[in-house]
């Protein structure tokens, strides 16, 4: 199919190397140490995450896709015709294509992602698949400030699409801020179509985030490879292990790199000490009951209008509107 590149216009607000360095050093100076999760997604990291989604243990993607297939007509009716679709953290977009096919005459599509190369490839493929759709990709960390580009087609409403369990990557207080930002993006007449993973058996959760093939481990360790390449860091990747236990009291998976010995690592002129057994958190994934997430949304000025789940209630897709 011919690709109409006049519909493609990249807007770049990606964080600079200095910003990345400051964020990383700030996180590693905290106790416990942590690495900002947005920097997991360089080109290789984005591809590894796609592989995670395809593993047998990672129930989230296939369960959410099933929910979308069974309920797309109802979701499209809830969104309404002529919507501008804004997707923070767009990734590779399998679920997005399903949504765009299901919606009634969408006015435009704005994918927002920090992985520039993946974003470019994905946005180009969307233009090829939907030649009449305006696609306005924004390269940015979606938790930072960025401008939503104006489309030529006047949108009747705005909908923020936030699939997967991305909202679970934020601590509840920060998740409220993220939801408030989504509410601001969609205006009073719009809404948020969001994926929310639900609480379930510990064994199933831990397997999903630490698969037998070791893809999740490679994904986490790739962070250190990126820091070595982009920040002139001196991590010896083989001296770090990977863990992803479920903290039942906090309702979250805690993904972390674990130093296998006492060591000091140089990072762009600074030095950071790691003790043997010390954990460096790379990402959290909070799980919610329907009532818990509804209460979280209320604190952000949003109310749940409709919820769709699978038969086992492993995962949910919810439509939120500003109160």
* CATH code for the domain in which residue 110 is found: 3.40.50.150
Look at residue 143 in the predicted model and tell me its pLDDT.
83
Mean of pLDDT values over 21-46: 93
Mean of pLDDT values over 188-214: 96
Confidence of residue 5 (pLDDT cuts 50, 70, 90): very low
Mean of pLDDT values over 200-220: 98
Mean of pLDDT values over 33-56: 93
Q: Is residue 225 part of a domain?
A: no
Look at residue 125 in the predicted model and tell me its pLDDT.
92
**pLDDT exceeds 60 at position 277:** yes
Burial 262-271 (b: 16+ CB within 10 A, else e): ebebebbeee
**pLDDT exceeds 90 at position 205:** yes
Residue-range definition of the domain harbouring residue 150: 6-13+55-200+287-322
d(CA 27, CA 6): 41
Q: Is residue 140 part of a domain?
A: yes
Q: What percent of the chain has pLDDT over 90?
A: 80
Q: Is residue 190 part of a domain?
A: yes
Provide the token pair at 224: 């250190």
Look at residue 113 in the predicted model and tell me its pLDDT.
87
pLDDT digits (tens, 9 = 90+) for 242-270: 999 999 999 999 999 999 999 999 998 99
- Check: CB of residue 226 under 8 Å from CB of residue 246: no
**pLDDT exceeds 50 at position 4:** no
d(CA 167, CA 165): 6
Look at residue 262 in the predicted model and tell me its pLDDT.
98
Instruction: Give the C-alpha distances (Å, rounded to integers) separating 265 from 23, 193, 217, 243, 283.
Output: 16, 42, 20, 20, 21
- The count of structural domains within the chain is 1
Q: Is residue 232 part of a domain?
A: no
Confidence of residue 15 (pLDDT cuts 50, 70, 90): low
Taking alpha carbons only, the member of 108, 46, 37, 104 closest to residue 75 is 104
Q: Is residue 214 part of a domain?
A: no
Q: What is the DSSP string of 149-206?
A: PPPSSPPSEEEEEE-TTGGGGS-HHHHHHHHHHHHHHHTTT-EEEEEEEB---HHHHH
Taking alpha carbons only, the member of 66, 62, 80 closest to residue 305 is 80
**pLDDT exceeds 70 at position 92:** no
Look at residue 6 in the predicted model and tell me its pLDDT.
46
**pLDDT exceeds 80 at position 9:** no
- Check: CB of residue 141 under 8 Å from CB of residue 40: no
Provide the token pair at 71: 């309920």
More confident residue, 3 or 148: 148
Q: Is residue 132 part of a domain?
A: yes
Q: Which 3-state string (H, E, C) describes 198-248?
A: ECCCHHHHHHHHCCCCCHHHHHHHHHHHHHHHHCCECCCHHHEEEECCEEC
Q: Is residue 71 part of a domain?
A: yes
Helix axes 202-209, 59-79, angle to 10 degrees: 100
Phi and psi at residue 32, to the nearest 5°: -75, 160
Q: Is residue 216 part of a domain?
A: no
Mean of pLDDT values over 274-298: 98
């Amino acid at each position: 199919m011919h690709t109409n590149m006049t519909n493609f216009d990249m807007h770049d607000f990606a964080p600079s190397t200095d910003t990345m360095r400051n964020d990383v050093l700030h996180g590693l100076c905290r106790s416990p140490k942590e690495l900002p999760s947005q920097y997991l997604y360089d080109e290789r990291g984005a591809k590894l995450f796609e592989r995670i989604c395809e593993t047998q243990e990672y129930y989230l993607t296939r369960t959410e896709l099933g929910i979308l297939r069974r309920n797309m007509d109802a979701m499209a009716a809830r969104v309404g015709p002529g919507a501008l679709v804004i997707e923070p953290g767009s990734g590779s977009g399998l679920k997005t294509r399903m949504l765009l096919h299901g919606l009634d005459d969408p006015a435009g599509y704005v994918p927002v992602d920090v992985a520039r190369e993946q974003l470019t490839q994905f946005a180009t493929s969307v233009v090829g698949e939907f030649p009449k759709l305006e696609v306005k990709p924004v390269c940015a960390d979606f938790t930072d400030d960025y401008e939503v580009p104006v489309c030529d087609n006047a949108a009747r409403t705005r909908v923020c699409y936030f699939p997967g369990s991305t909202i679970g990557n934020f601590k509840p207080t920060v998740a409220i801020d993220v939801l408030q930002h989504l509410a601001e993006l969609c205006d009073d007449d719009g809404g948020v179509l969001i994926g929310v993973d639900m609480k379930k058996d510990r064994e199933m959760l831990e397997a999903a985030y630490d698969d037998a093939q070791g893809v999740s481990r490679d994904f986490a360790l790739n962070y250190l490879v990126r820091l070595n390449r982009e920040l002139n860091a001196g991590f010896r990747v083989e001296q770090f292990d990977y863990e992803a236990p479920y903290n039942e009291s906090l309702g979250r998976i805690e993904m972390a790199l674990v130093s296998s010995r006492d060591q000091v690592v140089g990072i762009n002129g600074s030095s950071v000490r790691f003790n043997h057994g010390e954990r460096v958190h790379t990402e959290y994934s909070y799980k919610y009951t329907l009532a818990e997430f509804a209460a979280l949304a209320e604190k952000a000025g949003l109310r749940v209008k409709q919820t769709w789940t699978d038969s086992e209630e492993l995962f949910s897709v919810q439509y939120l509107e500003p109160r």
